[in-house]
Amino acid sequence: MAKVKDSGDALEDDFQASDTEYLSDGQEGGEQFDASDDENDSAANAGSKRKAGSSAAPEAAKKKKQNKSKKARAEINNTPIGKRSKADQIEALNDSQDRALEHLSSIERDERRIPVSAIKDSPFALDHTLVHLESFLKFAVEAWKTKLLVKDAHAVPSKYAQANPKGDAGNKGGKKEKKKPLESVDNLPRGAPVVLIVSASGIRAVDVIRSLPLFAEAAKIGKLFAKHLKVPEQVYFLENTCTHICVGTPNRIDKLISDGVLDLSRLELVLIDAHMDGKKRTILDIQEIRVDLFRMLGLEALEDKFKAGQTKLAFF
């Protein structure tokens, strides 16, 4: 499928009875109303009220239904995307895609939809906050201990790692703590993560990585965003390191996949970091970022994985 072009990162009237009856010509008094007139008038007025009431009732019911619908929609919008039903997640995803790819026809946008079968059912009981992100990955990735807690002992350290031997966290006094050796896997491809986490910004991506101390120590996490590392450094890292989790921004991930550097052969989960900022916006709401997001999700290599059922998409 061709890639999407670059973009910057929607009463009725009352019825009145007037029937009049006259006495016969032989009776005195001339024209007179029949005694039943009052009863007829009362019945007519009652019928008029019923008719008006029957018209107002549907309007009131309709308004009540609309108010209930608005309230339900507001509750959904205030619920984190990852905690919504699968149907509501798909609705939010498709609505954001329509806005991001508004220059395309409805048929073209439909062709780029993420398959419903690719949306992962994630009945995760805990809150979708960074403190529970590690728990979510254990929940979402089958046999996670085997896939996410291994390290390639023969991986060539990146230039960035060589320049920073203490690592990102660093160690007080320059002493490196001894760690229990992990299983060494020699036959895994380089730069082929099992989990790809997509965040709205580099700053947010840093926060995500900091929330994964267990995996940061027991596996390799690729940093695929502009902050800290440049593209050549990321290329070197992916080409020489067996990665298990990669965290990045849509634009940089798009480039690394398009250049054939980021290998998707082992990819099982694309996790959309749907963090809500101070303005109640997520990665699906900011136009320039969602344009990059759906351009990335529409890459043929990733699209084929979704359609084949090899890769799932989830929100956190």
pTM, two decimal places: 0.68
- Model confidence pLDDT, tens digit, residues 102-117: 988 988 888 889 999 9
Residue 11, both tokens: 């009463």
Helix (H, G, I), strand (E, B) or coil at 15: coil
pLDDT at 79: 81
Distance CA 286, CA 7 (A): 12
- Model confidence pLDDT, tens digit, residues 42-51: 555 555 555 5
Cβ-proximal residues to 248 (8 Å cutoff; 6+ apart), any chain = 196, 197, 198, 199, 205, 222, 223, 224, 225, 256
Distance CA 166, CA 183 (A): 22
Q: What distance lies between CA 27 and its chain's CA centroid?
A: 87
State the first-to-last Cα distance of the chain, in angstroms, to the nearest integer.
28
Report which DSSP code applies to 182. P
Residue 301, both tokens: 């290599």
Residue 243, both tokens: 């990665």
CA dihedral sign of residues 239, 244, 247, 248: positive
pLDDT at 225: 95
Kindly report which listed range (7-16, 118-127, 294-303) carries the lowest average pLDDT score: 7-16
pLDDT at 230 over 60: yes
What is the pLDDT of the chain when averaged over all its residues?
Answer: 77
Cβ-proximal residues to 79 (8 Å cutoff; 6+ apart), any chain = none
| Owner of token pair 């509750």 | 75
